[in-house]
Structure 1
């Protein structure tokens, strides 16, 4: 009897601590909505809240209509449109605890399943991205609901339950198109139903058609909003060409070797950023769990039971896509991979180590993540991004000047800076253009200078360093450090 009471007390403590960590983070998110719009993409999304126009990149293609609509639904609860998008992310991402719990409960006990859900929800780097006015946060939530719906439909007869994953996949792509590799989940589901003789070839075709019709809900709306199919396809091909061949940072447009790209992809983006959140504490704790997973255990059935894991299939499909077709310089693109690794790793861990000490180790990670996440969320909402610091510094300059930027000008336009600033693409055009501003000071940002150097021109001898503006790299890996230079003719 005493032993049973001891175990019950341990469960209550474990569930209590992890629940408090979840509620603490959710509260911090609600009271610390990020007020800044600090990147090109964030401006695109925010402007769409006022006027939805793909040609004006409000937002950029393919439009993410479900995300923008979600922001509009909660707009009355927020102070600004960008904070409405953040709030929508926070609310929807909070709901993802339920599908993660239901998924984990298929493999481990209910207590362990809640710990898995709490560990995934409190993961620090994903919460940073959730707290930005971009669609990644809502997409992660939609993904977990989609993942759960596939398993729910798989375990039930092929009837109306089959429609749920088909619909949720449409919602997922209508929030973030880059999740398209997750279609492998529908392929998996249809194959399983066909293999169990629940549907025939005609049934497969029927569900594929229904899936296409669900996608037409949002795609058709965009076609109408752009004035017809021709205009829509013109935008689509233009965006796709730019993403894969010019500015998208994919394996085609990036100069990194395949080995350097794979190293940055796995060790830097997935592990150091996505799972460890650039902290030594989380790295050590996760390594301990990793070691315990691979140590021998009496429960040898774990690998047999988890080898057919749908999560592994989804992880592999998205990993190939993210490695070759996403921007390696933006770690946020690997978020579903980091969380899927956590999910698979923790479910395997609890299958092998089901004792109190294993649970306490995961609770320690949850508490550590909650503390780190709270700190990050507060800082992100309070400290001005580097591009805002640049904007306000130049606003105080008494002389007449013109500023040449790379992508920073999109933010400067959004926050309505009164001085002239323009995006410049090539060194030769800059040399011609700056002559039009005789008598005015010419400023350039380091991103412009780096762009000139990548084109084979080094203007170093004609630059004078004026000021450096910095913010946390984990909030903005590309523009966390902006150096302002003065051009000397």
Structure 2
């Protein structure tokens, strides 16, 4: 909780957060308050926090903060009978302290609440085989509710069904149906069946084939592999990654030690699995992690926008559980004092790697928010026109008296910029505007707003340009 409070941002960071902020005052998918698929479970929790008096950013982050604390505590209780004290400590410490769960556990968005509910669903499924059939119903219901908080976790939630014993799967699916109906019916009632179908089909079509960052939009294999690796390894786990990052020597050593600990635990897991030396509890936890981690990882690679590291959260959770199983395997070779000390050292190293990015997110607004603040302090609203990317929604939210447009294509950007510049407007363009590079001969850099890519993988570097139209051609003198 302390780590997530340190990472709590002061301002809304992006378009998605603004859409969620708009939903605090009225649920309207047609007005993108929020955008489809609506995240009704998360929005309901955030609106409760807002009604209780929480300010905007805190109201949107509170569901993730509170549910995260509950999920982490329950995870420890559930893992201990399967992995022992050392394995449970490793699993809980990683879920609590790895960089990506901390950053998005405090972000004003649905990711933290969705991850917490995924953890709760995994805990319920893990214990469903040892309890009465109603435990399977409960596990399915939690998974159904989790789908209403973070619909993109569907492949992971379906994967959990593979771990439910065959005799309990019907009960689990019945519970899942109840969980889904609990949020789907109110959303249909608020939006209307026909309108919901129209909005949903338009959003899914655009996400799949125009702007969603799927493999259909960005099919380059090298690009996708590099971003997938960065999202999981660097942003998710905090491990070393090529490129200049400005890390201190102590931080580089901590990242190396963390990589060493993870590698040792995973090697121990693989060796024990190949020898058939895993205990029944270790096998169940490992199967659980693979059952939801592999389907979701495939979906992330093919169907998600890899520029946004938050999509790696279920994969990071699966890896944390696998490392915990490996830690439990290693613990059998040592005395309790030694293996608990090593588990504690791994937790401390994870915290050391996480702390700088948590402090950075909590102390410095996102580059898009810094852009809005800079423009409002330095440029007059009258006569100024901006062309941006997703930051246009932040301008609309925080400084609506500034005119900021988000063109759909580079060609539209060029036409609009030339038109308003010719009419006498003072035009500014950001590097995130579609097709901004085509205007490079006429763009003069004004300011740059950047943060560590591991803190914010998407739009972590934004440049504000002043547009200088080409001077009119001088007519030739006729002799």
TM-score interval (norm. to shorter): 0.7 to 0.9
Contact 1:464–1:486 at 8 Å: present in 2 too? yes
Aligned to 2:420, the other structure's residue is in SS state helix
Q: Which range moves more in the overlay, 32-41 or 135-144?
A: 32-41
Question: Relative to structure 1, is the Cα distance of residues 76 and 217 closer, same or farther in structure 2, using a 3 angstrom cutoff?
Answer: closer
Task: Report the count of equivalent residues.
Answer: 446
Aligned to 1:107, the other structure's residue is in SS state helix
2:259 counterpart residue number: 287
1:216 counterpart residue number: 181
Match among 429, 435, 442 for residue 427 of structure 2: 442
The Cα shift of 1:214 comes to 2.8
Contact 1:64–1:177 at 8 Å: present in 2 too? yes
Are 2:339 and 1:376 equivalent residues in the alignment?
no
Q: Which range moves more in the overlay, 375-384 or 312-321?
A: 375-384
1:175-214 map, 5 Å = 175-185=149-159, 187-189=161-163, 192-194=165-167, 204=170, 208-214=173-179
Aligned to 1:459, the other structure's residue is in SS state helix
Are 2:409 and 1:393 equivalent residues in the alignment?
no
1:474 counterpart residue number: 454
Contact 1:43–1:414 at 8 Å: present in 2 too? yes
2:435 counterpart residue number: 451
Per-residue CA deviations over 1:71-99 (Å, capped at 9, x if unaligned) read: 12223566522211212211110111233
Contact 1:108–1:350 at 8 Å: present in 2 too? yes
In structure 2, how many angstroms separate the alpha carbons of the residues matched to 1:427 and 1:275? 36
Per-residue CA deviations over 1:458-483 (Å, capped at 9, x if unaligned) read: 22222222221223333322222111
Aligned to 1:108, the other structure's residue is in SS state helix
Per-residue CA deviations over 1:40-72 (Å, capped at 9, x if unaligned) read: 111111111112111111111111111111112
Contact 1:386–1:471 at 8 Å: present in 2 too? yes
1:245 counterpart residue number: 209
The Cα shift of 1:255 comes to 3.6
Aligned to 2:444, the other structure's residue is in SS state strand
1:164 counterpart residue number: 138
Per-residue CA deviations over 1:123-142 (Å, capped at 9, x if unaligned) read: 12210111110111111111
In structure 1, how many angstroms separate the alpha carbons of the residues matched to 2:263 and 2:402? 56
Contact 2:7–2:103 at 8 Å: present in 1 too? no
The TM-score normalised by the length of structure 2 is 0.85
Contact 1:276–1:282 at 8 Å: present in 2 too? no
Contact 1:33–1:381 at 8 Å: present in 2 too? yes
Question: Relative to structure 1, is the Cα distance of residues 283 and 231 closer, same or farther in structure 2, using a 3 angstrom cutoff?
Answer: same
1:27-106 map, 5 Å = 27-30=2-5, 33-75=8-50, 79-106=54-81
The Cα shift of 1:426 comes to 2.6
Match among 348, 357, 367 for residue 348 of structure 2: 367
Are 2:410 and 1:427 equivalent residues in the alignment?
yes
Match among 455, 461, 465 for residue 441 of structure 2: 461
2:394 counterpart residue number: 411
Contact 1:131–1:377 at 8 Å: present in 2 too? no
CA RMSD of aligned residues (A): 2.6
Contact 1:150–1:185 at 8 Å: present in 2 too? no
Unaligned 5+ residue runs, structure 1?
Answer: 1-25
In structure 2, how many angstroms separate the alpha carbons of the residues matched to 1:30 and 1:290? 26
Contact 1:465–1:486 at 8 Å: present in 2 too? yes
2:245 counterpart residue number: none
| Runs ≥4 residues deviating over 6 A | 296-299
Per-residue CA deviations over 1:293-317 (Å, capped at 9, x if unaligned) read: 3269899554464455222111111
Aligned to 2:307, the other structure's residue is in SS state coil
Question: Relative to structure 1, is the Cα distance of residues 408 and 277 closer, same or farther in structure 2, using a 3 angstrom cutoff?
Answer: farther
Aligned to 2:217, the other structure's residue is in SS state coil
Per-residue CA deviations over 1:354-405 (Å, capped at 9, x if unaligned) read: 4244433332231233344344333322213222322232222257321111
The TM-score normalised by the length of structure 1 is 0.84
Contact 2:272–2:278 at 8 Å: present in 1 too? no
In structure 1, how many angstroms separate the alpha carbons of the residues matched to 2:213 and 2:276? 42
2:106 counterpart residue number: 131
2:246 counterpart residue number: none
The Cα shift of 1:277 comes to 5.9
Aligned to 1:105, the other structure's residue is in SS state helix
1:262 counterpart residue number: 225
Unaligned 5+ residue runs, structure 2?
Answer: 241-250, 470-479
Contact 2:261–2:346 at 8 Å: present in 1 too? no
In structure 1, how many angstroms separate the alpha carbons of the residues matched to 2:53 and 2:415? 45
